[in-house]
Chain A
């Protein structure tokens, strides 16, 4: 009977202890969660996260450090919060054991025998501690389950949205060819780096991901848009390699790079600006905007166009490579950035300067300017004819076939697939040629035949063999207001731009046959269309 009473008494004590301990255990976990998440949180900063990602692995050549931005919570901070809370629960629960251990087992608070003589007290306390352990573990497990579930759901959501956004971005980049090309180091990257307006930190990969879906937070706290398409007009884009500022829209709009090559004095610079003048005249007639995204291009174009329009000679290109002439066709997200590279002919001919021709590697179409006066048979026909015209022509000194071979060799050496590029072979100085009573055919194939018969057979053969598409144009590099429609220097450029998807005004039937400045000597055009453009005349303006 006495034993039953004692057992019942102990059971009641055990239950009381366990219940009180359970409440204590839950409280320990709740307090730990509040302390770790809100009172003294251990936050993984952007810098710490970057250092973590860098630790233990060395950067490969050409690879950059991870961007300095705050990671999304599930990617890093959730793990730290869980670990810190776990440690805090253990620490606080351990502290519960201190007094009972000291009193019941170590004898720090009176005799141990005395404590155990009144054994119901140790029994109650120890059962309470056991209950607290169970409750604390269970409630922490609940917190961990919630945290892991949230983390997993967030990761799945972020991963799905990231995949979709990156896929769409890749598709758009492939279709639109929205590379970012540097005018200084000629590096072409899929997207540029962007500077944070707050701290000038470089963000090299603004795609959606672990640092943010629609926006990311820079290490300085400023919010930056993700995706080049959204960042292009809000942040300052710079080259990934040399950090040169790039035109607004770089990496988000169509980017076309066209090197203009040829022998010294072949008329490359004059052709470039005459073609630009023609393009400006064509866009003037419609609502297609044309402008210059940087001051250098604006200044250079204004100077050269003034010379072209006044009928004076352009200056000879420096043998040091100038930055390209950047032209912006269209506006907003549908605009196109066109980079026209004008290299001095000496650069091509000098083997020691071949390393300077990096822009050749990134061209999406080539213009090869050929001086007809450098062709031996043409010179022979002119001997004794009109020497004034020949003097005026300042003919190119080199053999056009050799210069062309050097260009193609350079492309091949650089691993550029010429077989995927378009080539516009431009026979310049058509006005002077006509002045010497030499008429050229207007059709591309007929021009190729004329060149072959004139002795440039190898060039025609190699061009057709090495390039995906070759067209021949004969142009007079004059102002759009002076030139005959059939000699329009803008036609080769427009052909290359259209072939890359640029929407331009339709080829004119609508160009006036004799513009006002034709009074200056040009004859009214009698040709219905320019060479090489007949199949493109149906293009509708954007």
Chain B
């Protein structure tokens, strides 16, 4: 028999599909985390328009 048995094909399809799905989810999560990280970095640099109120830990805008 030259043709690969259907059970083997099914196993392969399922394995590949699950792998690709997880890969896509991970990539999406990484991109989202990366984007969020860069936003956080920007947010940590107070803009000139913000000022620190003495005695307070919060930056406030006028």
Contact between chains at B26 and A146 (CB < 8 Å): no
Contacts of B8 in A (CB 8 A): 43, 70, 73, 77
Give min CB distance, A131 to chain B, whole Å: 12
B23 in complex: contacting residue of A26, A41, A73, CB < 8 Å: A26
B1 at the interface (CB under 8 A from A): yes
Contact between chains at A142 and B26 (CB < 8 Å): yes
A30-B23, A142-B23 known; A37+B7 contact, CB < 8 A: no
B15 at the interface (CB under 8 A from A): yes
B29 at the interface (CB under 8 A from A): no
Interface centre among A43, A146, A150 (most CB of B within 10 A): A146
Contacts of A43 in B (CB 8 A): 4, 8
Closest to A81 in B: B12
A26-B27, A30-B23, A142-B23 known; A41+B12 contact, CB < 8 A: yes
A167 at the interface (CB under 8 A from B): no
CA distance A220 to B5 in the complex (A): 11
A143 in complex: contacting residue of B7, B13, B19, CB < 8 Å: B19
Contacts of B12 in A (CB 8 A): 37-38, 41, 73, 81
Contacts of A217 in B (CB 8 A): 1, 5, 7
A146-B22, A221-B1 known; A73+B7 contact, CB < 8 A: yes
Residues 1-49 (chain A) with a chain B CB within 8 angstroms: 26, 30, 33-34, 37-38, 41, 43, 45-46
Q: What 1/0 mask marks residues of chain B from 1 to 39 whose CB sits below 8 Å from any chain A CB?
A: 101110110011111101110110011000000000000
Contact between chains at A150 and B1 (CB < 8 Å): no
What number of A-B contacts does a CB cutoff of 8 Å give? 62
A33-B16, A220-B1 known; A78+B22 contact, CB < 8 A: no
Q: What 1/0 mask marks residues of chain A from 207 to 241 whose CB sits below 8 Å from any chain B CB?
A: 00000000001011100000000000000000000
A525 at the interface (CB under 8 A from B): no
Chain B: how many interface residues by the 8 Å CB criterion?
Answer: 19
Contact between chains at B11 and A150 (CB < 8 Å): yes
Contact between chains at A142 and B19 (CB < 8 Å): yes
A297 at the interface (CB under 8 A from B): no
A147 at the interface (CB under 8 A from B): yes
Contacts of A146 in B (CB 8 A): 15, 18-19, 22
Closest to B18 in A: A146
Contacts of A154 in B (CB 8 A): 11
Closest to A147 in B: B15
Closest to A199 in B: B1
Give min CB distance, A31 to chain B, whole Å: 12
Closest to B20 in A: A30
CA distance A122 to B8 in the complex (A): 44
A139 at the interface (CB under 8 A from B): yes
Closest to A223 in B: B5
Contact between chains at B15 and A150 (CB < 8 Å): yes
Contacts of A74 in B (CB 8 A): 11
Q: What 1/0 mask marks residues of chain A from 40 to 76 whose CB sits below 8 Å from any chain B CB?
A: 0101011000000000000000000000001011100
Give min CB distance, B17 to chain A, whole Å: 9
Contact between chains at A219 and B1 (CB < 8 Å): yes
Contact between chains at B14 and A139 (CB < 8 Å): no
Residues 142-194 (chain A) with a chain B CB within 8 angstroms: 142-143, 146-147, 150, 154
Contact between chains at B23 and A139 (CB < 8 Å): yes
Contact between chains at B5 and A33 (CB < 8 Å): no
Contact between chains at A221 and B3 (CB < 8 Å): yes
Give min CB distance, A184 to chain B, whole Å: 32
Contact between chains at B1 and A37 (CB < 8 Å): no
A72-B7, A142-B26 known; A45+B19 contact, CB < 8 A: no
Give min CB distance, B51 to chain A, whole Å: 27
CA distance A62 to B18 in the complex (A): 45
Extra A-B contacts (10), CB below 8 Å, given A70-B5, A143-B19, A221-B1: A33-B20, A37-B15, A77-B11, A143-B15, A146-B22, A150-B18, A217-B1, A219-B1, A220-B1, A221-B3
Interface residues of B (CB under 8 A from A): 1, 3-5, 7-8, 11-16, 18-20, 22-23, 26-27
Interface residues of A (CB under 8 A from B): 26, 30, 33-34, 37-38, 41, 43, 45-46, 70, 72-74, 77-78, 81, 139, 142-143, 146-147, 150, 154, 217, 219-221
What would 12 A/B residue contacts be, using CB atoms closer than 8 Å?
A26-B23, A33-B20, A43-B4, A73-B7, A73-B12, A74-B11, A77-B8, A81-B12, A143-B16, A146-B18, A217-B1, A221-B5
Q: Which 6 A-B pairs have the closest CB atoms?
A: A221-B1, A73-B11, A37-B12, A143-B19, A146-B19, A146-B18
